[in-house]
């Protein structure tokens, strides 16, 4: 069974998520403190960590960065009330495998954890929107970095996700398998995390993120 760990400074929310996930996963623990979280995750080695963005002591980003330095195989899923672009993009760039907001339905959250555990990326409609927005304008200068572009298919997949369709429906609409949808989404996530991309930098500047 997938081992899950929770990090959130909001106790009430923490206990709520705990009961929802307990039926489906092996929940190793839940903490509200950044330093404690880093220690526990290194020790307990969960498969998936659900991490809040805003927390005292550095927030989710600190947890993700520190743990990935020593344990790059831990998978992070961001769970936050915030859907501000700077939070979403910052968490993804730090290495989170997905970003969902706390308004997500319990069964969708379970599905998201499963997906991350399976090595896939979780793109909420809003995240897909941010990525499309960042890539929306054609680069004024030619960028040879292939990470700087979305392929037409990736763009199509992101658009459908942004329009609120589930992976299954995206697959049906594009007449491809769910696996293919997942690989497109993972490819986009990799581009986001790895590239020092021109568009993303410019987009971030325009949105006053950096």
Where does this chain touch another protein (CB under 8 A) — which range of 19-27, 121-129, 144-152, 187-195? 121-129
CB burial of 31-49 (b: ≥16 within 10 Å; e: otherwise) equals bbebeebbebbeeeebbbb
140 token code pair: 């004024």
Nearest CB to another protein, comparing residues 33 and 156: 156
Among 69, 71, 164, 179, binds another protein (CB under 8 A): 164
Among 132, 176, 178, 209, binds another protein (CB under 8 A): 132
Of the candidates 57, 65, 68, 44, the residue with the CA atom closest to the CA atom of residue 8: 57
CA separation for the pair 40, 34 (Å, rounded): 10
106 near another protein, rule: CB under 8 A? no
90 token code pair: 């910052």
To 10 degrees, the CA torsion angle through 181, 183, 185, 188? -140
Among 137, 151, 177, 196, binds another protein (CB under 8 A): 137
Nearest CB to another protein, comparing residues 16 and 125: 125
46 near another protein, rule: CB under 8 A? no
Point out which residues bind another protein (CB under 8 A). Answer: 103, 105, 125-126, 128-129, 132-133, 136-137, 159, 162-166, 169, 172
């Amino acid at each position: 069974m997938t081992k899950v760990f929770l990090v959130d400074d909001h106790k009430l929310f923490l206990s709520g998520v705990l009961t929802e996930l307990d039926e489906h996963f092996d929940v190793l623990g839940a903490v509200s403190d950044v330093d404690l979280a880093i220690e526990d995750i290194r020790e307990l080695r969960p498969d998936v960590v659900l991490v809040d963005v805003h927390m005292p002591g550095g927030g989710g980003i600190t947890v993700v960065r520190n743990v990935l330095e020593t344990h790059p195989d831990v998978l992070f899923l961001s769970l936050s009330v915030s859907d501000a672009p700077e939070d979403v993009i910052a968490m993804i760039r730090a290495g989170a495998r997905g970003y969902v907001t706390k308004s997500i339905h319990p069964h969708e959250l379970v599905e998201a954890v499963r997906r991350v555990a399976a090595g896939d990326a979780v793109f909420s409609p809003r995240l897909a929107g941010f990525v499309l927005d960042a890539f929306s304008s054609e680069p004024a200068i030619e960028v040879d970095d292939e990470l700087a572009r979305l392929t037409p298919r990736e763009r199509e997949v992101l658009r459908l996700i942004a329009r609120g369709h589930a992976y299954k429906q995206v697959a049906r609409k594009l007449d491809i398998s769910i696996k293919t949808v997942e690989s497109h989404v993972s490819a986009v996530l990799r581009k986001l995390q790895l590239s020092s991309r021109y568009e993303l930098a410019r987009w971030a500047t325009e949105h006053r993120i950096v």
